[in-house]
A = this chain, B = another copy of it.
Amino acid sequence: MTEPSQNPVPLSALSADQLAAFLTEQRAAYDALKARDLKLDLTRGKPASSQLDLSDALLTLPTSTTDAAGVDVRNYGGLEGIREIREMFADLLWVEPEQVVAGGNSSLVMMREVLVDLWLKGGVDSERPWGQEEKVTFICPVPGYDRHFTLLEWFGIDMITVPMNDDGPDAEAVARLVASDPSIKGIWIVPTYANPSGSIVSQEIAARLASMPTAAPDFKIFWDNAYAFHHLTEDEAKSADILSLAAAAGHPHRPIMFASTSKITYAGAGVAFLAGSVETVKWYTGHLGKGAIGPDKLNQLRHAQFFGSAQGVRDHMVKHREIIAPKFAEVERVLSERLGGLEVATWTKPTGGYFVSLDVLDGTASRVVQLAKEAGIALTPAGSSFPKGDDPRDRNIRLAPTFPAPAAVTEAMDAVATCVLLAAAEHLSA
């Protein structure tokens, strides 16, 4: 199905006749693709069933219902979560247990709660609630995570983009923006194996972000470490220790870290975490306690017993890698074979996380997604990695290869390549 590229010459170097022939060829390939009547989905970063199966021991846990502190986890209470799961993830995230809150099944919900609290009450270092500011702006490194942008948009928060580079957000651009504009209250960062680029924020960039002067006294780094342990190679990235860096720079309340077991155990039934300065944790649980009694401690104990230890989490992640690394390898293989040398696309080769970020020719991403859709392959909408779905160059497509079976990944990537080539040929012929 996947064949080496017939034409290693850059597409733009073809003569008009050659290009016309190429376009005809791609139209035929696309028609053949459509005729296959595929139904494939590469839209979301969801674990495959085989990954979820790895955690099915959870279904008969916990084997007891009392936590290490002697609390009956079946009953009410314990806003901050049970001690043993907080200790385990404090270890994994290099913070103290007092800096960690274990919550429900969604770190995104915790992010929303934090934004609600900032909006209605202000942070530990705010002059007033954010909702009382004339304008609130966030810096959004792009490409980034669509749900982050959707949430900001819901609050009516303005978004300014900066490039997400291989070593993290463009720190020069960020530092320049935050230095002078007090409406800029935050930045959203997926520091390790970023969604969708796979970038890893370097120690230097993290230090810069942690220490840079900001016009807003209550500037926040939303450090969404969703893929902290989600390595695709044996060369395991270590996330920069943003809390220590910020504390050392005199801005202990600047970062708020989020993580979860959504892509460690069950995507819909895991445990989410928030970490920050002790004051931040008190601030968060203080507001939380006005409208919550406690998280599902039973599920936390279930997870603590399942993992056994922080090392248990790391060991478990190796099993995920064994399942998904071959899918990422297949993405790389097919894209290289089909698109290599044609100069119609570039794509990331992530060493962790859940995504491949594909950049096609400027102005063709929407067309590729549309072509794919008509051929039965659902891709994340073009532009979704940008605030309000607006990719100014219309070139970025997020590929999510974890959920489909391996054969389907091959098939889908081959189809995507066909669509990329047809869109490029159309574009260059226009």
**A: which residues have CB within 8 A of B?**
44, 46-47, 49, 52, 55-56, 59-63, 65, 72-78, 104-106, 108-109, 111-112, 115-116, 119-120, 131, 147, 150-151, 153-155, 262, 266-269, 287, 290-299
Return 7 A-B CB contacts under 8 Å, by A number.
A52-B65, A52-B74, A109-B291, A116-B116, A120-B155, A131-B131, A150-B291
B74 x A151 contact (CB < 8 A): no
Picked from B116, B268, B291, B296, the residue with its CB within 8 Å of the CB of A268 is B296
CB distance from A228 to the nearest CB of B (A): 19
Complex CA gap A262/B75 in Å reads: 9
Complex CA gap A106/B109 in Å reads: 14
A59 x B65 contact (CB < 8 A): yes
Question: A59: which B residues are within 8 A, CB to CB?
Answer: 60-63, 65
B73 x A296 contact (CB < 8 A): no
Which interface residue of A59, A74, A112, A292 has the most chain B CB atoms within 10 A? A74
Q: A62-B59, A287-B154 are in contact. Are A293 and B73 (CB under 8 A)?
A: no
CB distance from A288 to the nearest CB of B (A): 9
B46 x A266 contact (CB < 8 A): no
CB distance from A400 to the nearest CB of B (A): 12
Picked from B72, B74, B78, B296, the residue with its CB within 8 Å of the CB of A296 is B296
Question: A109: which B residues are within 8 A, CB to CB?
Answer: 291-292
Picked from B49, B56, B155, B298, the residue with its CB within 8 Å of the CB of A269 is B298
Complex CA gap A50/B106 in Å reads: 31
B268 x A78 contact (CB < 8 A): yes
CB distance from A326 to the nearest CB of B (A): 20
| Copies of this protein in the complex | 2
Inter-chain pairs besides A268-B298, A296-B299, A299-B299, 12 sampled, C-beta below 8 Å: A52-B72, A52-B74, A74-B266, A76-B262, A108-B292, A112-B290, A120-B154, A147-B293, A153-B290, A154-B291, A268-B293, A268-B296
Question: A106: which B residues are within 8 A, CB to CB?
Answer: 292-294
B75 x A292 contact (CB < 8 A): no
Question: A299: which B residues are within 8 A, CB to CB?
Answer: 269, 296, 299
B268 x A154 contact (CB < 8 A): no
Question: A120: which B residues are within 8 A, CB to CB?
Answer: 119, 131, 154-155
Output the nearest chain B residue to A298 by Cβ-Cβ distance: B269
- Nearest 4 A-B pairs (CB), nearest first? A112-B291, A269-B298, A154-B290, A74-B266
Output the nearest chain B residue to A72 by Cβ-Cβ distance: B49
Output the nearest chain B residue to A297 by Cβ-Cβ distance: B268
CB distance from A388 to the nearest CB of B (A): 13
Question: A111: which B residues are within 8 A, CB to CB?
Answer: 291
Complex CA gap A360/B294 in Å reads: 32
